[in-house]
């Protein structure tokens, strides 16, 4: 298990998502699906209710940029 992930660890969240979901089509992910994927990461420990649309869109954008 890696370091604990919190909402402000956007880059680390993206790296963990890339490892956990290497074949995902980023063009089809909704923010609600992304939230579920993040919460399912074994080292994610932050409060789910702190997530908001802007934060999830930012994480998705970083993921898309890293995948290129």
Query: What pLDDT digit, counting tens, does each position of 6-45 carry?
Result: 999 999 999 999 999 999 999 999 999 999 999 999 999 9
Quick one: average pLDDT of 40-54? 97
Evaluate whether residue 2 is within a structural domain. no
The number of distinct structural domains making up the chain is 1
5 lies in some domain: no
Domain that holds residue 14: 10-67
For residue 24, what are the CA distances in angstroms to 8, 19, 35? 23, 11, 14
Q: Report pTM.
A: 0.92
Residue 1 has pLDDT above 70, yes or no: no
CA distance linking residue 34 with residue 8, whole number of Å: 16
Q: What pLDDT, on the 0 to 100 scale, is given for residue 68?
A: 85
Torsion of the alpha carbons at 32, 13, 1 and 18, rounded to the nearest 10: 80
Q: What is the CATH number of the domain that holds 24?
A: 1.10.10.600
Q: Tell whether 15 is covered by a domain.
A: yes
Examine residue 62 and state whether it is found in any structural domain, yes or no.
yes
* Residue 4 within a domain: no
Where does the pLDDT of residue 46 fall: very low under 50, low under 70, confident under 90, or very high at 90 and above?
A: very high
């Amino acid at each position: 298990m890696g370091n604990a992930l919190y909402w402000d660890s956007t880059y680390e969240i993206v790296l963990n998502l890339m490892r956990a979901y290497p074949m995902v089509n980023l063009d089809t992910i909704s923010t609600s699906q992304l939230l579920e994927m993040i919460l399912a990461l074994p080292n994610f420990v932050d409060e789910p209710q702190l997530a908001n649309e802007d934060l999830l869109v930012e994480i998705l954008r970083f993921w898309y940029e890293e995948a290129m």
